[in-house]
C-alpha cells in the first residue's frame, strides 16, 4: 500500500463525493461500520448498485473491508474522514440561486 499525495487525496475525495449515493454511504459509515445488506436497506438501493458504489469508494481509498467470518463489513479507511465529512457538511458554500453546477459545467470551472 502507498500513501497518496495531498492533491491526490483531495481528488479521490472529490470523486467520491461527486455522487450523492456515495455521499450517503460515507455518512452512514461515519456513524458506524456496516454490512452491505444493511447499507442497501438503509439507503433504499439495490445491493448491485450499492456494490458498484462501494467498489468506487474502495478504489478511492476511503473505505476498507473487514472480514467478519463469512461476511464482510465496510468502514471508513481512517476515522479522520468522518471529521472531514462533518466539516464539509457544515461549511458555508456561496451558491448562485440561478445556476446549478452539473458535471457538464465542471470543465468550465464550476
Domain 6-106 is found in CATH 3.30.930.10 = no
Identify the pLDDT of residue 31: 94
In tens, the pLDDT along 32-81 reads: 999 999 999 999 999 999 999 999 999 999 999 999 999 999 999 999 99
Mean of pLDDT over the chain: 87
- pLDDT > 70: what percent of the chain? 85
Identify the pLDDT of residue 108: 47
Reported as half-sphere exposure (CB side, CA atoms, 13 A), residue 75 has a value of 11
- This prediction has a pTM of 0.80
Residues contacting 9, CB < 8 A, separation 6+: 61
Domain residues of the chain, as ranges?
6-106
Amino acid at each position: 500500500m502507498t500513501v497518496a499525495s495531498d492533491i491526490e487525496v483531495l481528488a479521490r475525495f472529490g470523486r467520491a463525493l461527486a455522487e450523492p449515493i456515495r455521499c450517503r454511504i460515507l455518512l452512514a459509515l461515519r456513524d458506524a461500520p456496516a454490512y452491505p445488506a444493511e447499507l442497501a436497506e438503509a439507503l433504499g438501493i439495490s445491493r448491485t448498485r450499492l456494490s458498484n458504489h462501494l467498489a468506487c469508494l474502495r478504489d478511492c481509498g476511503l473505505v476498507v473491508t473487514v472480514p467478519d467470518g463469512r461476511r464482510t463489513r465496510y468502514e471508513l479507511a481512517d476515522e479522520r474522514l468522518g471529521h472531514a465529512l462533518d466539516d464539509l457538511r457544515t461549511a458555508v458554500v456561496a451558491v448562485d440561486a440561478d445556476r446549478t453546477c452539473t458535471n457538464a459545467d465542471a470543465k468550465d470551472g464550476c
